[in-house]
Each structure stands twice: as structure tokens, then as C-alpha cells.
Amino acid sequence: MEKTKMVIVACGTAIATSTVVAKSIEEACKLAGIPVFIKQCKAAEVPSYASTADLIVTTTPLPSNLGVPVIQGLAFLTGIGKDQTLKQIVDTLKG
């Protein structure tokens, strides 16, 4: 069995936006057969969680030197490029 992947989903307040993004990632990973645990948090909290993550998906700017891949999740808000972003997330977690 594959190791469960830890994904941090960050937005400004860790309420509405991160919930939408988290649900989309959960569905995509389930379809791809990737066990995933998603931690929603505020962007300001990301540095304290980064060392435990396999991937960070954010809808707000974050530093790129967190030691794990960071994917910009703005496509989940606009709908433009959402499928490509989900593919990038799945590919990164499979990698």
C-alpha cells in the first residue's frame, strides 16, 4: 500500500477557499489511487507545517524556499486551468 501523502492547502483564512481546493484535490487523488491527508491552514501558518508536507497548494503568495514543492492554486478560484493544476498536483504526488 502506498504511503499517505500529506498536502497542505493554504489560503488567507483557512476557511472557504481552502475547503474548495481541498475537496477538489481529495477527489482527484482518490481517482488516481493516491492516499492523501489534507491539512488546511492560513498562509501565515505554512512555514510551521511545511516540514511534514509532501506538497503545498496555495491560493496566496508564499515563499518558494519551504523545502517542498509549492503549487499555485488560483485556478481553483477562477476555473481557468483547473484540470491542468489538478494534473500537476497528481503528477507531483506520484513523482
> Catalytic site residues?
11
- Give the max Cα distance, the chain: 35
Closest CA to 39 of 14, 64, 75: 14
